[in-house]
Structure 1
Amino acid sequence: MSSVMNLLIGKRLTPEEQVKKWRSSVRTQERELDKSMRGIDSEEVKVKRSLKAAAKRNDVASCKILAREIVQARKARDRLATSKAQLNSLTMNMQQQLATMKIAGTLQKSTAIMKLVNNLVKLPEISATMQEMGQEMMKAGIIEEMMEDSLEMADEEEIEEEAEGEVNKVLFELTDGMLGEAPGAVAGPLEHEKEDSKAVEEDFAARLSALRA
């Protein structure tokens, strides 16, 4: 009898069927993350072209704003790549669950799976699916609880300083050393540049959200 029919008549899945269902769901989420990363890569290529064009016009303010967009894009992509690697680890751990089940006859509790699920729940792109999977794993006895997000936020000034350093590196990279880490190019942004940067960052965030959707 198919798993769909089992659900319709209220029959519980066997442990093996449940693990296979989770693995299938993880593969789906991996494809979604791949799609999001491709979208970010495509967006970054466009922004790089715009930055190089602005550099030729000697439009330093626009170059800084566009460099910030590239830094944000790379951070977003790195976050997705890390999450995809965690999904892959989750798949391997579930494969181990299947192997153990054949010996012990039941699914076993796993601290590694609980940690991976709790980390992946924090990712907006797949949070809903991972929350549902986590609840199912709790019922199956694999994990004990869904932990609260205890990620400590770094000091805002430290984040800003790190971002400025990355922006300058991008500028230096894409303008062949004309901007960025070159002397005189690392001074803090003017007030109008901060305002422009905030507006562009909000626009870029909206485009990233559209890509995820």
Structure 2
Amino acid sequence: METLKAVLFGPDPQAQMRKCNQIIRSNTRQLDRDIAQLKTLDTKTRQLILNASRRAERNPSQARQATVELKTFARELVRIRKQNTRLNTSRAQLQSVQMQVNEAFSVRKIQGSLKKSTGIMKDVNTLVKLPELSGTMHQLSTELVRAGIIEEMVDDAITDPNMIEEEEEEADAEVDKILQEILQGKLSQAQKPEKPLEEEPAAEDVFEDQEATLEQMRGRLEALKS
């Protein structure tokens, strides 16, 4: 029946609006899950930095190795926080799209026609490029085109030549800022060993354990981008 009505009278605006809102809510929930995972990674990485610093305080012979670890973990934390900022920005854009879409449908209900929105199209173009949302945002753009809210997007319009991959190596200034933020005021606590020195695990074992943890974290961070 709905299909027949759509053929005779065109798509139902209310059904179109519900479909668009459903897609947007689904994307918002996905971003919320990804942001929560990044928060967990942030906490774990901060703890790895603190552990490396405390180990160096307890055993000066491991200071050189700890310094290498501190830099490595700090770079990972910079990446995590950049990703978190990007996802939060995308979430705000998604909410903006939802408000604009609902407003467009409301205007259509009152005036009986729709005016295509370049603002919505610009935001959708940006969100389509997100690996986390690419598939469903293409679906949303299709629904918005059907509703007459945006123009049909072609590949050239979706591809942004200015989009570049984040650099793996972060500036030393950012790394140093992270280390100062986490370790400042806590170094004095590290001077009191929690265990006798002879009970500490071998430096190689500690390093291997932390390397394994770091690899797992990197895998989870990359998974959020794919």
Q: Same fold (TM over 0.5)?
A: yes
Residue matched to 2:200: none
What is the aligned residue count? 188
Q: Is the 8 A contact 1:15 1:107 kept in 2?
A: no
Question: Out of 203, 206, 211, which is 2:219 matched to?
Answer: 206
Listed as ranges, the matches of 1:1-213 within 5 Å are 6=2, 13-58=11-56, 59-146=66-153, 147-152=157-162, 163-176=171-184, 204-210=217-223
Distance (whole Å) between structure 2 residues aligned to residue 162 and residue 208 of structure 1: 16
Relative to structure 1, is the Cα distance of residues 153 and 104 closer, same or farther in structure 2, using a 3 angstrom cutoff? closer
Give me the CA root mean square deviation.
3.1
* Structure 2: runs of 5 or more not aligned: 57-65, 188-211
**Larger Rg computed on CA atoms:** 2
Using CA pairs under 8 Å that are at least 6 residues apart, name the structure with larger relative contact order, 1 or 2: 2
Question: Is the partner of 1:57 in helix, strand or coil?
Answer: helix
Kindly state the Cα deviation for residue 138 of structure 1 after the two structures are TM-superposed. 2.0
Kindly state the Cα deviation for residue 210 of structure 1 after the two structures are TM-superposed. 3.9
* Structure 1: runs of 5 or more not aligned: 180-198
Q: Is the 8 A contact 1:36 1:212 kept in 2?
A: no
Q: Is the 8 A contact 1:52 1:174 kept in 2?
A: yes
Distance (whole Å) between structure 2 residues aligned to residue 119 and residue 96 of structure 1: 20
